[in-house]
């Protein structure tokens, strides 16, 4: 029974309208039956919760159908996907902001919330304090009801107190064209949003106010005045439509300045100030640190925000104009604009305010010119003075019958592109038939993994057609961000800085889309797969990707990326809009097993590339495969400009897996099984399609010795997990004893050179020897531990299985146990160093009459678990 219900849930997630409602009802009925036969209370509760969720979804689907019928417009798509328990927990946790609770709005949009309570009784007082800035606090005189803020002799309705229609008509309906203005509140983006959306808030069917504020008179098509001053607003943020409860008290001042939005043509109009107050409640107070109007309109209307960067080299003027003009004329787009950091002298010359949002009230195109009618929401502020300006700045008295300053002006679209930084377009979601919402949390990656995608949220998207898909990423607000904004704003005010720099302290996020093989699998780092779209990194809480699927039925991979997000953990919502049902799921690794290890290159372990004799001091790891496997390795560092490299090498020494892995001390081309590209900055990738079972050595390195930094190494494998662990340094836990003198030096002649140094121990000792050339010039040497001399000598251990090898890359013998009695009886223990083409004479000093290029010193040390005595080098003329 549960299996049948889950199948209906799956179909529900890809359906709409009546079909979606049918699947929701069928799944709910099956869960009711399953609950009746459940064997445990926990199971019964789970089925009941599922049933409750599906019934609520069905009611919302019906409400959308009613709205579409009433307005003769396409219905707003509802996400029909049933959330997981984890996602529900994310939505509930995101309900808490600034000590307030903003629970999800679970009932249909056109039904009052159960706790509305606006029918009378004592006047409602919201206990939540609203913060004010120091400038606002200086003139603040208290919170007052609307009747106290607008004297009766300045109201249009002069009837007696309590007369019928006084509240409803005077406070809630505009009798003249709406002309909103911002004064001392630092919320230009909010007021610009209200101005730009005013045509969608009118007294008509389909007004967005009908789903924004309660109480609302659906017959008269306007908000109602609450009898006890309590209002509930439905706002879209933190992944859900949510309830925001306020009272009707507004901040009064001791001057003619206002701390809330006012309508200069309708001085008694109340609902804009209530909407503003509700929005500021969720953003922290009237000392609003700032936002952008695209984000604000998304909260107020639920319309899809897009930020178009007007200073980008990629923008196409004609295409952009045609796209927004068509949508605006059809009532499917709300437009606002934002300026950048304009210099003070430019502000006065141009009549534009820096880092300020403007409303677009109209688009005009007569075939010769393309104009925007733009409104500055500030009271009596600067207005564009450039070519073609049509600003009207008439003196006025609030409440008079004469026209007053509208702060409106016309600007050619070409000038808009030159003088504004961003165009914010909020799109009607009813342009699409389908919607899917996915909610997730993300622990910010370690700094060593910021340049790669190993821990980034990724999703597989498959569409049956090539029709456009829009993907909106929304970051949930949390208290820590407000604290950062206020601290940075205070710092800005002290140093007269830029508000843009303040907002950037919240970090950046982006969306990227890739074509992968296999399709829809995870992307380890950007360079590994073909990027179909890379969105800009924005400091806004919303970013949008629009794309056309390249191949029907073939999945693409969406990657959520970030840069410098300051808090340790975030929650997000991804909303997918489409004309056809999509199949969306978290992307999986192409190799199912993965593990991550962390480390660091220090002054002792940063050995540089293989061209340096210190290469083998780099961190090394023992990698054991129990079966033939496919591997991929991703190496990344916290130093962005540090060139790095990773290699998989054949391991030296014994194949006995019970013994500790020997450290790699020499290297030849045939030792390299797989490696990343030559040194790449910050991160790199290595792939090994098929490796036999066995034990291997992984070496991570930087290009130059001595470059330090932390790193992360992620290993993915199939079909089984790998066993990986650090290989200890040769000297780890051992005594290090060098052969006295500056190093072994061979003279240059055509004969083989052979040097030896005496080794003695006081007790049974386990030891091995390591040799490294003091120059990077190739030198073919062999290092051995021998008992005795002459033809009867015995080789106990030898480097590279007896082969001569490049000493600049290091030589190492296996470990052996030596007994002092055996040493004495067999003619002594000797370190023997041989060179092909060397001389039979040597010097223990680095000084010589021959040139330095003809003489090459080699440092040799013995690593042991007991005290070892070494004597200097001598010639061994045993040919």
Q: Angle 821-824-829 (CA atoms, 0-180°, nearest 5)?
A: 105
Annotated active-site residue in 8, 298, 356, 419: 356
Annotated active-site residue in 188, 195, 686, 716: 188
Distance of CA 101 to the CA centre of its chain: 26
Asked if residue 719 has a cis previous peptide bond (ω within 30° of 0), the answer is yes
Contact partners, residue 198, CB within 8 Å, separation at least 6? 178, 180
CA–CA gap between residue 536 and residue 511 (Å, rounded): 8
Helix, strand, or coil here: 720? coil
CA–CA gap between residue 322 and residue 683 (Å, rounded): 42
- Please say whether the dihedral angle defined by the alpha carbons of residues 611, 616, 619 and 623, taken in this order, is positive or negative: positive
φ, ψ for residue 841, nearest 5 deg:
-125, 155
- Please say whether the dihedral angle defined by the alpha carbons of residues 108, 114, 117 and 119, taken in this order, is positive or negative: positive
* Helix runs in 799-863, H state only: 820-825
Q: Rg of the Cα trace of the chain? A: 37
User: Which position has the token pair 């950091």?
Assistant: 341
CA–CA gap between residue 230 and residue 227 (Å, rounded): 8
Element (H, E) at 33: helix 17-36
Beta strands in 729-822 (DSSP E): 735-738, 744-748, 753-761, 765-773, 780-787, 794-798, 805-806, 811-812, 816-818
Helix, strand, or coil here: 563? strand
CA–CA gap between residue 259 and residue 271 (Å, rounded): 15
The answer to whether the CB of 863 falls within 8 A of the CB of 736 is yes
Q: Is 529 considered catalytic here?
A: no
Element (H, E) at 870: strand 868-870
Task: Dig out the tokens for 831 from the structure.
Answer: 């370190």
Pick the closest to residue 583 from 484, 469, 498 (CA basis).
469
Pick the closest to residue 631 from 558, 527, 723, 529 (CA basis).
723
The answer to whether the CB of 511 falls within 8 A of the CB of 471 is yes
Burial of 820 (0-12, 13-18, 19+ CB in 10 A): middle
CA–CA gap between residue 442 and residue 571 (Å, rounded): 6
CA–CA gap between residue 397 and residue 220 (Å, rounded): 31
Annotated active-site residue in 236, 292, 332, 376: 376
Which residues on neighbouring strands pair with residue 253, listed in sequence order? 140
The answer to whether the CB of 524 falls within 8 A of the CB of 453 is yes
CA–CA gap between residue 522 and residue 241 (Å, rounded): 31
| Count of helices and strands (H, E) across the chain | 16, 50
Q: Angle 674-677-680 (CA atoms, 0-180°, nearest 5)?
A: 135
Task: Dig out the tokens for 758 from the structure.
Answer: 């005496």
Q: Is 188 considered catalytic here?
A: yes
The answer to whether the CB of 137 falls within 8 A of the CB of 254 is no
The answer to whether the CB of 226 falls within 8 A of the CB of 215 is yes
Q: Angle 52-54-56 (CA atoms, 0-180°, nearest 5)?
A: 70
Task: Dig out the tokens for 782 from the structure.
Answer: 């062999």
Task: Dig out the tokens for 634 from the structure.
Answer: 């991703």
Q: Is 501 considered catalytic here?
A: no
CA–CA gap between residue 381 and residue 778 (Å, rounded): 76
φ, ψ for residue 720, nearest 5 deg:
-125, 160
Which residues on neighbouring strands pair with residue 323, listed in sequence order? none
- Catalytically active residues, by annotation: 188, 356, 376
């Amino acid at each position: 029974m549960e299996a049948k219900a889950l199948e209906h849930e799956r179909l529900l997630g890809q359906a709409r309208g009546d079909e979606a409602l049918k699947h929701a009802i069928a799944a709910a009925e099956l869960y009711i039956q399953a609950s009746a036969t459940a064997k445990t209370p926990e199971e019964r509760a789970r089925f009941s919760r599922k049933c409750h969720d599906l019934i609520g979804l069905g009611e919302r689907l019906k409400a959308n159908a009613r709205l579409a019928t009433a307005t003769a417009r396409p219905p707003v798509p509802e996400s029909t996907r049933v959330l997981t328990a984890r996602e529900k927990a994310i939505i509930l946790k995101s309900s808490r902001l600034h000590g307030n609770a903003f629970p999800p709005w679970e009932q249909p949009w056109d039904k009052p919330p159960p706790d509305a309570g606006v029918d009378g009784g004592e006047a409602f007082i919201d206990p939540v304090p609203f913060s004010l800035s120091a400038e606002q606090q200086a003139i603040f005189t208290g919170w007052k009801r609307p009747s106290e803020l607008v004297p009766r002799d300045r109201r249009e309705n002069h009837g007696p107190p309590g007369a019928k229609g006084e509240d409803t008509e005077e406070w809630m309906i505009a009798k003249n064209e709406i002309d909103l203005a911002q004064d001392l509140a630092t919320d230009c983006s909010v007021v610009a949003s209200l101005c730009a959306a005013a045509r969608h808030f009118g007294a008509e069917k389909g007004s967005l106010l009908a789903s924004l504020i309660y109480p609302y008179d659906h017959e008269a098509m306007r908000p109602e005045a609450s009898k006890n001053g309590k209002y509930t607003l439905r706002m879209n943020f933190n992944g859900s439509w949510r309830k925001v409860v306020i009272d009707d008290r507004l901040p009064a001042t001791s001057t003619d300045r206002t701390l809330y939005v006012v309508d200069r043509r309708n001085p008694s109009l109340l609902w804009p100030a209530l909407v503003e107050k509700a929005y500021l409640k969720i953003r922290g107070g009237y000392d609003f640190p700032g936002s952008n109007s695209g984000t604000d309109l998304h909260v107020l209307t639920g319309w899809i925000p897009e930020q178009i960067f007007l200073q980008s080299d990629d923008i196409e003027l004609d295409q952009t104009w045609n796209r927004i003009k068509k949508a605006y004329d059809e009532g499917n787009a709300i437009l606002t604009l934002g300026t950048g950091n304009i210099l003070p002298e430019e502000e006065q010359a141009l009549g534009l305010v820096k880092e300020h949002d403007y409303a677009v009230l109209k688009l005009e195109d007569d075939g010769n010119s393309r104009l925007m009618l733009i409104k500055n929401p500030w009271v009596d502020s600067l207005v564009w003075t450039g070519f073609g300006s049509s600003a009207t700045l008439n003196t006025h008295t609030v409440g008079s019958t004469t026209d007053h300053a509208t702060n409106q002006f016309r600007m050619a679209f070409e000038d808009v592109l030159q003088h504004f930084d961003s165009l914010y377009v909020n799109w009607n979601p009813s342009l699409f038939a389908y919607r899917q919402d996915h909610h997730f949390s993300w622990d910010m990656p370690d700094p060593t993994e910021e340049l790669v995608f190993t821990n980034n949220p990724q999703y597989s998207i498959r569409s049956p057609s090539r029709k456009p898909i829009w993907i909106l990423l929304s970051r949930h607000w949390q208290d820590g961000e407000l604290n950062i904004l206020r601290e940075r704003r205070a710092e800005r005010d002290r140093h007269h800085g830029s508000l843009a720099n303040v907002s950037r302290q919240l970090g950046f996020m982006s969306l990227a889309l890739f074509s992968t093989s296999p399709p829809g699998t995870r992307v380890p780092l950007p360079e590994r797969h073909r990027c179909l779209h890379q969105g800009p990194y924005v400091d806004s809480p919303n970013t949008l990707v629009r794309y056309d699927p390249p191949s029907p039925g073939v999945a693409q991979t969406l990657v959520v990326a970030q840069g410098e997000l300051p808090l340790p953990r975030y929650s997000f919502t991804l909303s997918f809009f489409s004309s056809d049902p999509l199949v969306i799921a978290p992307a999986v690794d192409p190799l199912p097993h993965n593990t991550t290890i962390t480390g660091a290159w220090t002054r002792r372990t940063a050995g540089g590339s293989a061209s340096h004799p210190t290469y083998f001091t780099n961190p090394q790891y023992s990698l054991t495969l129990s079966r033939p496997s496919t591997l991929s390795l991703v190496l990344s560092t916290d130093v962005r400009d540090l060139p790095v490299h990773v290699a998989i090498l054949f391991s030296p020494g014994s194949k006995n897996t019970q013994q500790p892995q020997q450290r790699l001390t020499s290297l030849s081309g045939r030792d390299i099984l797989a490696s990343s590209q030559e040194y790449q900055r910050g991160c790199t990738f290595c792939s090994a399609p098929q490796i036999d079972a066995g034990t291997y050595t992984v070496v991570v390195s930087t290009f130059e010795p001595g470059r330090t930094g932390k790193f992360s190494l992620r290993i993915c494998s199939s079909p089984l997990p790998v066993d990986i662990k650090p290989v200890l340094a040769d000297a780890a836990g051992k005594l290090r004893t060098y052969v006295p003198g500056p190093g072994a030096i061979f003279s240059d002649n055509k004969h083989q050179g052979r040097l030896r140094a005496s080794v003695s121990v006081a007790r049974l000792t386990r030891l091995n020897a390591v040799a490294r050339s003091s120059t990077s010039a190739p030198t073919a040497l062999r290092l051995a531990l021998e008992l005795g001399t002459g033809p009867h000598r015995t080789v106990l251990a030898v480097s590279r299985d007896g082969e001569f090898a490049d000493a600049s890359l290091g030589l190492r013998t296996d470990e052996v146990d030596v007994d002092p009695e055996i040493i004495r009886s067999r003619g002594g223990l000797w370190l023997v160093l041989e060179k092909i083409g060397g001389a039979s004479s040597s010097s223990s000093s680095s000084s010589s009459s021959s040139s330095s290029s003809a003489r090459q010193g080699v440092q040799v040390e013995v690593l042991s678990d007991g005290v070892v005595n070494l004597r200097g080098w001598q010639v061994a003329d045993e040919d």
